[in-house]
Amino acid sequence: MIYYPIFLDVQGKPVLLVGGGHVADEKLGKLVDHGADVTIVAPELIAPVRAIVEAGRARWEQREVRAGDTAGYFLVMVATDNGAVNRTVADEARGNGILVNAADDADNCDFILPSLVRRGEIAIAASTGGTSPAMARWLRERLEEFLSDDVLALAALLADVRREVRVGDHACAAHCSRAETPPPLLCKECPNRIPTDRWQEAIDAELMAMINLGDMDGAREHLVESLGRTELVPSPFWVEEVRG
């Protein structure tokens, strides 16, 4: 099985979690940390899961799962060791057009959960397609080493400069007769367009050395110069009227 990698926005989305044991605990923590609106259906909860419920971060219906429970949910997560329950819940969820994940039960999964490393706004997911949890953990530990303070500082700098660039893009587009609906906003002939490759090339050894030394002002200046966007260049397609 080759899985298509994807990051989902679960903020405020209704998620059904069937089960209240250790596997449910592993899934629940990440779900609530990412803002999911989780309902747990299980006869009993282990202490860590109960603590999350008591803190008001998830709801609990103390009972066995039953027909009709999956209706209206964005995602369904099954965390039981009962294959028959997994199959019943998965079949119903799919019938309702809902994606389902069943722990350690690939036949009843529409997607699997990768090993995740997160620091700040950076998230890196690693997966072995469900074939080797040990390998996934090995990868995660090395990715944690990769996400150093320098990498986080680079990410913050790139995000900040990109925001400034987008402000310039909007200013250029407001004068231009060829502006496109964003993205990409700027027309292909625009002298202010920054090619994707230029962003990659700008992350060079000199930039990383400045970041390592803590010279963020110098790093910002070097990055902007490398991008070739210290100021907007009047486009031949600018018009006198400024669009509102």
Among residues of the chain, what percentage have pLDDT more than 90?
72
With both helix axes pointing from N to C terminus, report the angle between 216-227 and 149-173 in degrees, rounded to the nearest 10.
Answer: 50
- The string of pLDDT tens digits covering residues 212-225 is 999 999 999 999 99
Angle at 78 between CA 75 and CA 83, to 5 degrees: 140
By the 8 A CB rule, do 138 and 161 touch? Answer: no
pLDDT bin (cut points 50, 70, 90) of residue 241 is very low
Q: Where are the domains of the chain?
A: 14-113, 149-227
Contacts of 59 (CB under 8 A, 6+ apart): 38, 39, 40, 53
Calculate Rg over the CA atoms of the chain: 24
Nearest to 168 by CA among 227, 239, 220: 227
| Single-letter amino acid code for the residue at 30 | K
Which is it for strands 115-119 and 122-126: parallel, antiparallel or unpaired? antiparallel
Q: How far is CA 47 from the centre of its chain?
A: 29
* CB burial string 95-134: b at 16+ within 10 A, e below: eeebebbbbebeebbeebbbbebebeeeebbbbbeeeeee
Report pLDDT for 201: 96
Q: What pLDDT does 43 receive?
A: 97
Q: Which residues on adjacent β-strands are paired with residue 17?
A: 40, 77
- The tokens describing 144, both together, are 């944690």
Confidence band, pLDDT 50/70/90 cuts, at residue 242: very low
Taking only the tens place, the pLDDT of each residue in 64-116 is 999 999 999 999 999 998 889 989 999 999 999 999 999 878 888 999 888 88
Statement: 14-113 belongs to CATH 3.40.50.720: yes
- Is the model's pTM score more than 0.85? no
- What's the CA gap between 111 and 130, in Å, rounded? 10
pLDDT on residue 240: 60
Residues 23, 49 contacting (CB under 8 angstroms): no
Residue positions counted in the chain? 244
State the pLDDT confidence band at 138, using cuts at 50, 70 and 90: very high
Collapsed DSSP state (helix, strand, coil) of residue 18: strand
